[in-house]
A = this chain, B = another copy of it.
């Protein structure tokens, strides 16, 4: 997708422009470091696309796009502390490279910086922007708390899991698009529809993430295939496997998860999932959300060619191998 590069270049330029003070260096060095590591910049790109879809310009939406990207990075820095994750995007996480206190505080200041970006938008749209941004930020925190709560629960339902990923990751995609729409002064109905589009693309994207973790091509994936299985993570695949298993099979599954040899564990779990149709069942849920997303996009009242970049992006995300 040629267009994606055009958008992401714009975001990278803006990120480089951020002029963090040199002192206190323990507060700002981690932010310089973490923002330079990169990432797909998918969320701010959605804001730019949302603005253009409804007739505004990319430039006008840049502050909001940056607010969304800074917020996302704040949440990653704090999530990494809570999840005790040593590596993010192939590099050391902030709390590993520095320490947890520094990661807490630099995350905090990054969240405030997100609001400073937001405050650059026109006063006429500020109230609407703040409302969707604030509500989303609260939901993202709720999603992270549910995710942590579910680690110690053995009765998480598939509905609860989908609701958790909706809060933790998908609402921010909907929010990103709607902020673009707000800046372009789209109608309330169009705003709601593009939010729906983003939210369901987000859910489908996250399910795709769960599937890829076990089924990606190891040559293309860039990280260990089967990582979720090895860490006994409750992904949609595992929840679906439990749902599709009878009580004897459930015991078999638990035995597989107790396997100590990592390669053997991943391959036998995969074989077991295949035997009961876990991948297809998850793919079906993913496709359902992809369809709901496209349906919402279809209903938006703008010329069809304005929807093209969003449709392309969605297809790109659904067909990715990484």
Contact = CB atoms under 8 A, between A and B. Distances in A.
A286 B55 CA distance: 57
Interface in A195-209: none
Interface in A81-137: 81-82, 100-102, 104-105, 107-109, 111-113, 115-116, 118-119, 123-124, 126-127, 130-131, 134-135, 137
A134 B146 contact: no
Contacts of A124: 123
A318 to B, nearest CB: 30
Given A102-B145, A119-B131, 4 more contacts: A109-B138, A119-B130, A119-B134, A123-B126
A116 B134 contact: yes
Interface of A: 21, 23-24, 26-27, 78, 81-82, 100-102, 104-105, 107-109, 111-113, 115-116, 118-119, 123-124, 126-127, 130-131, 134-135, 137-138, 141-142, 144-146, 148-149
Given A115-B130, A138-B112, A138-B113, A144 B105 contact: yes
A24 B146 contact: yes
A145 B82 contact: no
Main secondary structure of the interface of A (DSSP, over half): helix
B104 A142 contact: no
Counting from the closest, the 10 A-B pairs by CB-CB distance are A24-B145, A109-B141, A27-B145, A119-B130, A82-B101, A112-B137, A116-B134, A123-B127, A126-B126, A112-B138
A27 B119 contact: no
Copies of this chain, tallied across the complex: 2
Contacts of A119: 127, 130-131, 134
A33 to B, nearest CB: 15
A104 to B, nearest CB: 6
Contacts of A26: 145, 148-149
Nearest to A74: B108
Contacts of A115: 115, 130, 134, 137
Nearest to A103: B104
A27 B142 contact: yes
B108 A141 contact: yes
A108 B142 contact: no
A24 B142 contact: yes
Contacts of A23: 142
Contacts of A101: 81-82, 148
A108 B123 CA distance: 25
Contacts of A123: 123-124, 126-127
A108 B105 CA distance: 11
